[in-house]
Amino acid sequence: MRSFTFYLTGILLLCINLIFAQETFESRAKSIANKISVITKEEKEALKVEVEAINEELAKGQITQEQADQKKIQLADTRAKNIENRVASAQNELRDLVQEKVDGKLQESDSTRTFVIRLKSKKYKINDYNERRTTSQFVFAFGLNNLVTNGAVANSDFRYWGSHFYEWGITYNTRIFKNNNLLHAKYGLSLMYNNLRPTENRYFVESGNQTNLVNSPQHLDDSRFRNVYLVAPFHLEFDFSGQKTKDGKTTFQTHKSVRVGLGGYVGGNIKSKQILCYEDASGNDVRSRTRGDFNVNDFIYGASAYIGYRELSLYAKYDLNPLFRNNAIDQRNVSLGLRFDFN
């Protein structure tokens, strides 16, 4: 338990350090998040065009309804894989960025807040923007991921620093009271990637309705178990940005000061995959991807919270239902990391 306490302390110190030295880090992370957003948008637009072409073939009687549905399913699967493959490079960039920060390679001279440059026309009324009760944000989060077993994360079967989570999505932020800026409702849609890397050269094997960790007969360079979820998060957010008065007009601000969010999420599993990397008897590098059910729960629900300043927050989430449906011991996913809410 003591080693786990040191582990959590190290994470918190790292996160706090990133919060108070976030200018350059934040601008680069925002650039990566924007890249992920563009990738997703491009693939969705391409899928839309392809689906419209199929609908035209169906309308002309060139294909049957069954053939059209099958084509759409195949295209959707292809575009989903494209997003996953293209986003992987952006995830690597983000991992390298965090490592640079940890290694102290980011220069102090880079801390200029270039990201606060405003590109608004003088004719654009900022007050009108701030007066809107509802705003939207692009959310990107990443950090460490693991399983709680028998109420503890200590002595885990999964690597602490090797298991990660990623999340990105769109949220809406609505000020609840007309004349008070403290309380907001924050809701939206997110894609969650939860990755687990087993220790001691092990991987998951289905045995009937049980999913167990077993020792691999060959040395594994990498063993990774990934679950992807589409979830609807909801938080009550306390935003201490306050309000300001100019020219006799009071406006409300958001994401300008300390923010605290308390809430949860509910959604469904859209993919479970195991990735194994090893060297075969001939010395060839093998990368095996197995997509299946793995007895993972189809639905997910949990509690989450964040606390931070401006766009950057410390973020924690905990699944209230177990990862596997029928395993003898319930194991629940837990994550701790950084969250960005970009207006």
Residue 292 scores a pLDDT above 80: yes
Query: What is the per-residue pLDDT across 197-233, written as a single tens digit (0 to 9) for each?
Result: 999 999 999 988 999 999 999 999 999 999 999 999 9
Q: Per-residue pLDDT for 251 more than 90?
A: no
Q: How far is CA 82 from CA 36, 78, 85, 92, in A?
A: 12, 6, 5, 16
Q: Which residue has the higher pLDDT, 150 or 214?
A: 214
Q: What is the DSSP letter of 283?
A: S
**What SS3 state is found at 121?**
coil
Give the pLDDT score at 27.
Answer: 66
Which of 7-21, 40-54, 126-140, 279-293 is the most confident on average? 279-293
* Cα separation, 146 vs 163, whole angstroms: 6
State the pLDDT at residue 256.
Answer: 85
pLDDT at 112 over 60: no
DSSP code, position 178: T
Mean pLDDT value of segment 307-333: 94
124-138 pLDDT, tens digit each: 343 444 457 888 899
Q: Encode pLDDT of 92-107 as tens digits.
A: 777 676 666 656 665 5
Q: What crossing angle do the helices spanning 2-20 and 22-59 adopt, rounded to 10°?
A: 90
Q: Find all residues with CB under 8 Å of 198, minimum gap 6, and list them.
A: 157, 158, 159, 204, 213, 223, 225
